[in-house]
Structure 1
Amino acid sequence: MTADIPSLGITAELRVALQTLARTPELLLALDFDGTLSPLVDHAEDARPLPRSAAALAAFAALPRTTTALVSGRALASLRLVATPPQRTLLVGSHGAETWLGPDSPAVSLTAEQESALETARAAVARELSRIPGTLAENKPAGVVLHYRLAEEAAARAGVERLMAELAHTPALHLSHGKMVLEISVINANKGQSLDLLRQETGATAIFFAGDDVTDEHAFAALRPGDLGIKVGPGNTQAQFRIAAPASLPDVLELLLAERTAYLSP
């Protein structure tokens, strides 16, 4: 769906969809973190998963024929720090530029051109930090992010426009927008590609994905018949269902967990 569908809780339609999904042979439960498992906060380091959602994620991770994954825009190191994911949970960071599928997963490796482009981007972002009070930079292995949630709106908008104009001349850079952030990366990746990879790696016969940001739309677009996507919060979306806020997610996860546990019980 592309329409701005109204915020919903667990409707009869969603309940049936969750019950059907619970009976898939191999389930992949993939979740965004900020704005989904955790409410959005002013300072990224303060984010934590809501306790009931964290408990449900841990319970899913312990089930057979069920794989859990966090698919986030955060760098992997930051995601591990704030999310404290279950040991068996697969991790995707930096919108797909970083992937952890187990201890043998390689670290991000950049070419000389990418390293140079990244330094250009970081220098440009640093200049905007000095111009615009309330802005923050988040460095990632393959990118840098300008956060402007706490900045004055007009100044932040002007800064984003300057950055986009300046960096448009560096072809190795890929720019995208999120909620009050400008993402700059030297690796062109998105969450839809990440879900495709996770589906292939895990042999999932169906995927549950929940996310809140515009960057999660790539993931919703990658879902197939039999999968289930939930948009958290307002905004146009391709997800089949919507819930109002991260505080609504535990009810959804706990219902799916109960149905999945019953299905897997001998």
Structure 2
Amino acid sequence: MSTTEPVAAVELLDGVLQLTIATAAAGTSMDFTLINAGTEALRSLGDEVGAILLVGTGANFCAGGNVRDFASADDRGARLHELASQLHDFVRALDAAPVPVVAAVHGWAAGAGMSLVCAADIAIGGPSTKLRPAYPGIGLSPDGGMSWTLPRIVGASRASEILLTDAVVDAEEAVRLGLLSRTVADEDVRAEALRVATGFVTGPRPTYATMKKLLAQSPTATLDQQLDAERDGISAAARSNTGREGVDAFVAKRKPDYRGLD
């Protein structure tokens, strides 16, 4: 997937907001010009966006931060503080998005690249996909939310092992742990991730937003609180145009049409 052609940081493809996070330049390390452009796009999401797709256009999804860049800084701490702040603005904007986030994870997802895989709702990989924290290898601690998302995906004990030992997680193990949703042939990762993302565009968008909200709050909510939230969510959905269309279509044995509904 290597390319030297100019890459669009932000591209709208039939309702899918495609955000490129890394290119072949600098060894497919994270490109903060692209990241910052993605943050601005996420902060101004319009109704035309029904899903978000994260991609890399080089040999890897993202090989992590550009170590040579911050190694050459006069104040490495200040440089990393700046970069982490920019990345975290992106992660916060991604987390706030009410539409599903899909990641096309080909090749390596290391360091901050792995953090973004953990931040996606659905991650599609291939047999050659590999994930690695990569931080201990250069004497640094995680950023991009990995210390928050990873334990929630794989459990506290396994997250500790992966982070502390700088484990390389292959595709099969990543699927078993839930870091990847599933795998397809390496050459099909991008197309399949786009297909999945496109499938959300004509779906019940308010339903997806409520599902994301419920899933996000569930780790810290009690069962009693979650049951109340689910009750309130489903009753509100039943009164909405989207809910009415879905139920009416089921009764009428036709395909629902959610376009333009709230």
The structure with the greater share of residues assigned to helix is 2
Asked if these proteins are the same fold (TM beyond 0.5), I'd say no
TM-score computed with the length of structure 2 as normaliser: 0.33
Higher strand share: 1
Q: TM-score, normalised by structure 1?
A: 0.33
* Higher RCO structure (Cα 8 Å, ≥6 apart): 1
